[in-house]
Structure 1
């Protein structure tokens, strides 16, 4: 009986996945242009962040209220904020695809990512404008005076810039400070779940995690406090 029950359950899941995939592909065929544009802009954003690294000039870390209040985690504990961000990112991605399996559906996956990418692009465009307008000495350890990564040598060819040294160039970037990209993604994801999610506890937990991520970024000295504050204001304002 248990084997028969499992077989019936698996059959229902397969039918749901097939049905949902058919619907999502139809929506994708109509809405793919904006999705593609959003994905392309992610590369443009990475290219801009790589470009400002060439302009970065290391200097003394600026006076920051968050640095005074929060204890410094240290270079060896910088992975904590990155680990939390990875958890946030993967959790959100998995949640956006849950309608393929579960019947508790309030959105279409293609449309939710269309909306998310639109918000990300708008925020990232403003971010590019701000970090090119005002270039601050990076507080991160690899951006400080004496670090070989703080200043990039002039590129030898165009390909060196266009390839953005992924993923190392993304992890060890400098100069793209105002405002925090990690917080853009985090808050967009949390706001999206706040609107389309249905479990109150997870909504409350998501906001708590976003606050914890903010504090960890500052404690890790990856951004100044103003970078985090501006990210909150910009994304929540939208």
Structure 2
């Protein structure tokens, strides 16, 4: 038993090292795109902070969602944020799980380049929209009488640039159309829909996206229009931006071995091909092979049948 655990631990460590080497080489080529996407997250937060200064509380607008869904109230407002946090952390862990498990078919760095491109495109549209028209916030801290509904004039530029993180993000007002929470949720769900391998998780993810939408309205973080606009805007953005981006390389085609900075034979005497098999999880005891077609990962349980006919055979 001890020998088996030691052998598996050794395989895991070598696979992690191979993954790290591959991802570092990809990071060296794509770090500018990742950095630009991360910097824009700050710009998006700065824009949301800025619109809070010009927010003016007023009567809550008539909303169908508010009539149909009872308000959770300040005491239960955490439910919506908790669901979103679980979605966020689950997606992040999924993008990094290949360093541990054998089922990796995509590269972590390239997936995040794609995700950040979707987020940036959606957030640019969001900034333009909520600066065009400021609606009175429906959330409890944005209503008339709340000290947080209006921000006093900033004393310095530094105060604006610091955006009072994270309190300034959580208790923001005025950045309504359309929902930022739904941008992240839908981008994550659409990404897993294309590159994930578990059909059940894909179906469950869409269910959670619907639940998240209802919770956002019930907690009065957004009007119903903010959620509805997010649903069709983000899906359209992902659809069109995805067509402009180069497709992720298929690991099963052997590209991964070209990315590995390995010599012809490593210190343990393994060839590049053997390291590539270890990297992709195609060891001798793993007889199941998943197939990637046109950049989409087929779910577990699906098989592809091909009929090959040769003349003269």
Q: Taking structure 1 as the reference length, what is the TM-score of the superposition?
A: 0.99
Post-superposition offset of 1:19: 0.1
Question: May I ask how many residue pairs the two structures share in their alignment?
Answer: 237
1:179 — aligned with what? 178
- 1:122-172 Cα shifts (integer Å, max 9, x gaps): 000000000000100000000000000000000000000000000000000
1:226 — aligned with what? 225
CA distance in 2, matches of 1:163, 1:10: 44
1:58 — aligned with what? 57
CA distance in 2, matches of 1:51, 1:65: 29
CA distance in 1, matches of 2:221, 2:22: 42
Q: Give the alignment's Cα RMSD to 1 decimal.
A: 0.5
Bigger helix fraction = 1
Higher normalized contact order (CA 8 Å, seq sep 6+, divided by chain length): 1
- Which aligned pairs between 1:1-238 and structure 2 lie closer than 5 A? 2-238=1-237
CA distance in 1, matches of 2:58, 2:169: 21
Post-superposition offset of 1:103: 1.4
SS in 2 for 1:97: helix
SS in 2 for 1:15: helix
Runs of 4+ in 1 over 3 A off after TM superposition: none
CA distance in 1, matches of 2:226, 2:172: 15
Query: Which structure has the bigger radius of gyration?
Result: 2
Gapped runs of 5+ residues in structure 1?
none
CA distance in 2, matches of 1:222, 1:97: 31
